[in-house]
Copies of this chain bind each other. A is one copy, B any other.
Amino acid sequence: MKIDHTSDKDLSAQIATAIRDAIISGQLPVDKRLPSEAELADQFEVSRPTVREALKRLAAQSLIRTQRGATGGAFVNRLTFEDAYGQQITTSTLLLSMNAVSFETACEARYALERACAVLSAGRREADHLATMRAEIHRQAQPGLSDEAFCASDVAFHRALVDGARNPVLSYQLAGAVEAMQPLMNMITFSARSREEIIALHTRIADAIETQKPDLADAALRELQDYTIALANAVIAERAAQQT
């Protein structure tokens, strides 16, 4: 394996791409040990620091893991959902914070995904997820609950709803959207009135899933989406006013 030393791209980027392609194509199976840094340097005809930069790029994407010591080295990493979560969350958070996406667009995407999950959840009707949802609703109704705790419980409720779909791909995609919205959600002060409203909608959603009526869940989630956007817009407006 060699590398184009005259290309305008970094050698480390080229090497990273070459190895990444080998992993994606399956030439390098999971848990396979890569050649040592010194060997890679020989093969690609570059120095060890350059190889290391390439390996760090791959490590940043959780494509490899490294181990020190005699039997150490770089190994092809089996990508876990946890890894995928993490990357999805960083990416989504940045997309939102760098103003590439409006809060409303993110919210629309999130609730579109949630409605899709709710339909599947209703079809599967997992007892444990339903129990979690009920428990979180109960917690949300307790007086004296701080806004942070209410928010955390809200996340737990939605997480149970989504996980009830039993589709890890949907779960991990949603994780990004939910996490990215969290900073703004945490700024909301939930009045007694708005909590009531939210709890009522949560109850409707749980009921709909328990009685396996996806269209009712769909409708309740739509209302919740509108309500969330309204609350968030109020915070955004307030923040804008303060900055003036």
Query: Which A residues form the contact surface with B (CB < 8 A)?
Result: 12-13, 16, 20, 23-24, 26, 30, 49, 52-54, 56-61, 63, 78-81, 84, 87-88, 90-95, 97-98, 100-101, 105-106, 108-109, 112-113, 115-117, 119-120, 165, 167-170, 173, 177
* Selected contact of A169 from candidates B24, B109, B116, B120, CB within 8 Å: B109
Give every chain B residue within 8 A of A58 (Cβ-Cβ).
60
Give every chain B residue within 8 A of A30 (Cβ-Cβ).
98
Q: What are 27 sample pairs from A and B whose C-beta atoms fall under 8 A apart?
A: A12-B56, A23-B94, A30-B98, A53-B56, A56-B56, A58-B60, A60-B61, A61-B91, A63-B94, A78-B98, A79-B98, A79-B100, A81-B100, A87-B91, A88-B91, A92-B169, A95-B169, A106-B169, A108-B167, A108-B169, A109-B173, A112-B113, A112-B120, A112-B165, A112-B170, A115-B116, A173-B173
Whether B120 pairs with A95 at a CB distance below 8 angstroms is no
Give every chain B residue within 8 A of A87 (Cβ-Cβ).
61, 87, 91
The winner among A12, A13, A109 for most chain B CB atoms within 10 A is: A109
Whether B90 pairs with A24 at a CB distance below 8 angstroms is yes
CB distance from A235 to the nearest CB of B (A): 17
Complex Cα–Cα for A109 and B30 (A): 24
Give every chain B residue within 8 A of A173 (Cβ-Cβ).
109, 113, 173
The winner among A24, A108, A173 for most chain B CB atoms within 10 A is: A173
